[in-house]
Amino acid sequence: MMGAPGAGKGTQARLLASRRGLTHVSTGDMLRQADEAGTEVGRTARRYMNQGQLVPDDIMVGLVAERLARNDCGNGFVLDGFPRTVRQAESFAARGQALEAVIALVVPEAELVERLSGRRVCRRCGTMYHLSFSPPTTAGRCDRCDGELYQREDDLEQTIRERMAVYARDTAPVLEHYRRAGLLREVSGSGDPEEVFSRVTASLQ
C-alpha cells in the first residue's frame, strides 16, 4: 500500500488485512515501537523522521525482513510504508518475496496537508483524532482513556512539506518501478474510508 504522507495508507492497509485474513505490516508502527523501547534502531529512526527524512534503506530492509519471517505472515501480508525507495524495492525482490499488487492512493497535496496538520494522537493509548474530521469530545483529551492528545513532530506543517518533497524525490520513482512490472494500481484516496476501500477492492479484481 503506497501513497504520499496522509494519503490513508494505514487505514486502507488495516481494512484490507482484516477483511482478507492477512497480516498488516506497518513500518511506521515498527519504527515507533523501536523508538519507544529506546533501541538504537529506534533512536536513529527518530532523528530521521523528526526531520521529515526517510530512514536509511539498510535499516528498513532489515526490519521488514525480520518481521516477515514471523509465523503470522505465512498466509500473506499487506505492506504499509514499504518500500519507499527503488533500492528497497529491489532488495525486497532479491529476497524472493513476490507481490500480487501495489496499490497507490492518490490525493491532492492541499488535502494531504490538511489531513496531517489536524491530526492528534493520545499519549497514553495511541488513539488518533483529527481536529476537523474526527475531533475528541473534550478538546485535548482522549475519549477512550482521557489521555493527553498531542501533535506528532512529523505532523507539523513545515515537516509535512519536507515529507512531501522527500516522497516526490525518493518514493514516486518506486511507483514507476512497479508500473513497469505491471503491478501498480492507482486509486483515488479522497472520500471516506469505506468509499476508498471499495475502490481498492475493485482495483484488485
- The pLDDT profile of the chain, 205 residues, written as one tens digit per residue, is 999 988 999 999 999 999 999 999 998 788 777 777 777 777 777 788 777 777 888 888 888 887 888 899 988 999 998 998 899 999 888 888 789 999 999 999 889 988 889 999 999 998 999 999 899 999 999 999 999 999 988 888 888 888 888 888 888 899 999 999 999 999 999 999 999 999 999 999 8
CB 149, CB 140: distance < 8 Å: yes
Q: Residue 28: its pLDDT value, please?
A: 79
Superfamily of domain 2-107+165-203: P-loop containing nucleotide triphosphate hydrolases (3.40.50.300)
Q: Residue 40: its pLDDT value, please?
A: 77
CA dist 165 and 118 (Å) reads: 19
Residue ranges per structural domain of the chain: 2-107+165-203
Selection from 18, 200, 56, 38 nearest residue 27 by Cα: 56
Q: What is the number of alpha carbons within 13 Å of residue 51 lying toward its C-beta?
A: 7
Distances, alpha carbon 190 to alpha carbons 39, 71, 107, 112, 138, in Å:
36, 34, 6, 10, 27
Residues catalogued as catalytic: 9, 84, 119, 152, 163
CA dist 52 and 17 (Å) reads: 27
Q: What is the number of alpha carbons within 13 Å of residue 181 lying toward its C-beta?
A: 18
The strand order across the sheet containing 2-3 reads: 2-3, 102-106, 184-188
CA dist 126 and 108 (Å) reads: 27
